[in-house]
Amino acid sequence: MTPRRIAIAAPHTAAIESAEAAVAAGGNAIDAALAAAAALTVVYPHQCALGGDLIALLRRPSGEVTAVISAGAAPAAIDPARFAGLDRMPPQGPDTVTVPGVVAGWQALERLGASLPLSHGLTRAAELAESGYAVSPGLDRALQGRRDILLADEGMVGVFGDGAGGLKREGDAVTQPALAATLRRLAEDPEAMYRGEIAESISARLVALGGAMAASDFAEHRAEVIDPVELEHGGARWWVAPPPTQGVVLLGILPEALSADDPSDPALVEAARAALLTRTAQLGDPRGGAIDVPAMLDPRGRSAEGHLPRPGRAMGDTVAVVAADSDGTVVTLIQSVYQWFGSGILDPATGVVLHNRGSAFSTDPEHPAHVGPGLRPPHTLLPVIAESEDLLVGLGCQGGSAQPWILAQVASGVLDPARDPAEVLSRGRWVIGARDLGFESLTLLAEPGTDAAADAAEGLGLGTARRDSRFDEAGHVQVARLHRHTPRLLDAASDPRADGRAAVFTAQQ
């Protein structure tokens, strides 16, 4: 029997090593992705954690694509009136923590066809937390970028403090014994995240800090396993997750993305601007009222501007793990803490870093993304699967609210079977945003090689900022591909802006 092969890409080498161990133990692409995802909650705590959310897409060999949305809701006891006089939600702190969905998301993916128990990856992640790892360049940037917030939290200082009033730096060792114990407990019973001592510890910590979270809020959480949104364009079929995440925003600008010879094409810049304004006005949680999905699928000519994104800079918000199997399975998994180190809160008893997804709610009760009990905030996570005559592609990235424009700039390149995906990801990119990029007004931030996009932005009346090197805000894209007409040929690439790599492994039979 010819052995299967699995391609995977992730933003940290420890994740690839965990994926390799899963494949060596007989795991498939789902197992590889889950093992990598668990490792990332240890070594990339500024971008993802057990206290964050997960959105994923899975393509089975039959061709069926399924979405997993495990985005947590605001506490039942949250009082929207507390925020009614504010122009935005708090950027960090206990009021920004929604129920973490990542563990329930892992469970849902395991049930959809993993070969190994979830405990395999969780146990390896526990060992990594216990033995320790070195601070990577990306983690170092985040530690320094969030210095004041981290030093204000006893849990963060206990893990990332240098013992002299500062924070660890690149190359320093980090061990996380409390997180290791939590991961071992979850390996025994993943439901402990939502019922029992872990949920009770985290909710008690948030209440002590002035939040409204209760253990009962954790117990109410369920991952959704639902149909994705599908679109055929440019000779390919595309799948994204539906709201409250922003996948449909990417679909709305695919015509410009796939027709442009250069990702800096002015038409794509103009389409991205229209899509951003439309998303800002329309994206929210369908549980809280009607969401205008058709508007986001066709944003051209619309001028309505809503009240989001309003939070601070969303650098380091997520990690993407993508895996493709020679049997036709493709997994795109994205998990997050939102901004660097999320809420700035680490529960000392469990070692869990808590996200700040709630900072993306609107304080306007008429907005689709209004804050309220049991509602989910608008989500940036944007996993993608594409299928053409030649390729099956898993695609995802870190990049906050800019993920649609980041992925739009690489979409055409990764769909070309003759292009090296690593070369596609190394090209200069641009992003558009406001406060999410550190600007007070709508601005295009450009890497080298994207002057045409910056010129187009100026013509549209946008602010521009040109950088002389790559930057994290341009995203950490991961891609894995299966070449359909060349038996068992797979390739993958990891963004050079991150600390990861891509690999192709031979699966055990």
Catalytic residues: 318
Q: Which of 430, 436, 390, 437 is nearest to 414 (CA)?
A: 390
Answer whether 385's CB lies under 8 Å from 332's CB.
yes
C-alpha closest to that of 342 among 38, 12, 47 = 47
Phi, psi of 409 (to 5 degrees): -75, -15
CA-to-CA separations, 444 to 2, 140, 256, 464, in angstroms, rounded: 49, 26, 17, 5
Indicate the DSSP class of residue 52.
Answer: S
Cβ proximity of 508 and 26 under 8 Å: yes
For residues 349 and 205, the answer to whether their CB atoms sit within 8 Å is yes
| Residues in contact with 179: Cβ distance below 8 Å, sequence separation at least 6, in sequence order | 41, 42, 50, 126, 129, 159, 350, 351, 352
As a whole number of Å, the CA-based R_g of the chain is 21
- Asked if the peptide bond before residue 417 counts as cis, ω within 30 degrees of 0, the response is no
Residue 239: strand pairing partners: 230, 385
* Of residues 371, 436, 427, the one with CA closest to residue 403: 436
The answer to whether residues 17 and 507 touch, using CB atoms and an 8 Å cutoff, is no
Write the Ramachandran bin of 400: left for phi over 0, alpha for psi from -120 to 50, otherwise beta: left
Tally helices (H) and strands (E) across the chain: 16, 20
**Among 134, 160, 165, which residue's Cα sits nearest to residue 46?**
160
Phi, psi (deg, nearest 5) at residue 66: -125, 140
Tell me the C-alpha distance between 475 and 479, whole Å: 13
Three-state secondary-structure class, residue 335: strand
Residue appearing with tokens 């360049």? 137
d(CA 450, CA 19): 35
CA angle, residues 134, 140, 143, in degrees to nearest 5: 120
- Please report, in angstroms and rounded to a whole number, the separation of the first and last CA atoms in the chain: 8
Residue 55 main-chain phi, psi, to 5 deg = -130, 135
